[in-house]
Amino acid sequence: MKILITGCNGQLGNEMQLLEKENTQHTWYNTDVAELDITNQLAVEQFVAEKKIDGIVNCAAYTAVDKAEDNKELCTSLNTVAPAYLAAAVEKRGGWMIQISTDYVFNGTKHTPYVETDTPCPDSVYGSTKLAGELGVQKFCKNSVIIRTAWMYSSFGNNFVKTMIRLGKEKEQLGVIFDQIGTPTYARDLASAIMTIINKGIVPGVYHFSNEGVISWYDFTKAIHRIAGITSCRVRPLHTDEYPTPASRPHYSVLDKTKIKATFGLDIPYWEESLEECIAKLKE
């Protein structure tokens, strides 16, 4: 197949490129904004038609959650409008699309893991635009998979793990939120799951994916410092209201992964095993 990857310079896009080397049976087109502006409908249609694209994995998104509150237009363009353009273009070729979405489509007031049939109720511009993106992809491409994920990190780009390692080395103490609960996702594990879905065959629908287990941001930070060998920084727990942010965050955003595991036969690693793998890569 000829497969288009958007957002190839991001965390997930970079991990996808590493796995492409093991999946040489397909032809991969790795693009970021310099190669393809996905907010330009004509450019998207021409690219998909000329390259005879069979499938698209959309890793591109506006993910600055707080800045999104003031940049609604740009956020909407990247998270809502662009995915619909991609979906419509690949549908014309009878192709498929995998759209990456987020736990932020929920407001986090539930106390049991979110399943795919739970009614979305976003509480931020970012969450609202990503939900609208999901709906657009499903509307314009019938052979589409939506994967909602959460707390993503990798050895690439800017993310929570790398920030906590840096701050842990710089500061004597850190305050980290303890009353927001979720599950980290190692982008390498998500990329691996996407490869499995591509190779086994698209089964349209909405799916949830993160690593296994449940943790708070505070406990996650403690684990990051322990694994990275940082002992000089004291981490103290903060309530959400002690650290106000422009965008509201879900207090509880654990995703139930039963459906994706059953449908594609995935074996998902525990969050701490994946964190150890990522920090080992960072030390290299």
Q: pLDDT (tens digit, 9 = 90+) per residue, 96-132?
A: 999 999 999 999 999 999 999 999 999 999 999 999 9
Task: Provide the pLDDT confidence category of residue 243 given band limits of 50, 70 and 90.
Answer: confident
H-helix or E-strand spanning residue 164: helix 160-170
Q: With contact defined as beta carbons under 8 Å apart, do 69 and 75 qualify?
A: no
Taking only the tens place, the pLDDT of each residue in 169-193 is 999 999 999 999 999 999 999 999 9
Least Cα distance to 53 among 30, 69, 83 occurs for 30
**Residue length of the chain:** 284
**Mean per-residue pLDDT, 258-273:** 98
Q: pLDDT at position 139, please? A: 98
Residues of the chain above pLDDT 90, percent: 98
Can you list the positions of beta strands (E) in 34-95? 55-58
Is the pTM above the cut of 0.95?
A: yes
Let me know if 126 is a catalytic residue: yes
Q: pLDDT at position 244, please? A: 87
Task: Provide the pLDDT confidence category of residue 210 given band limits of 50, 70 and 90.
Answer: very high
Q: pLDDT at position 84, please? A: 98
Task: Provide the pLDDT confidence category of residue 76 given band limits of 50, 70 and 90.
Answer: very high
Q: Exactly one of 62, 85, 104, 126 is catalytic; name it.
A: 126
Pairing of strands 205-208, 144-149: parallel
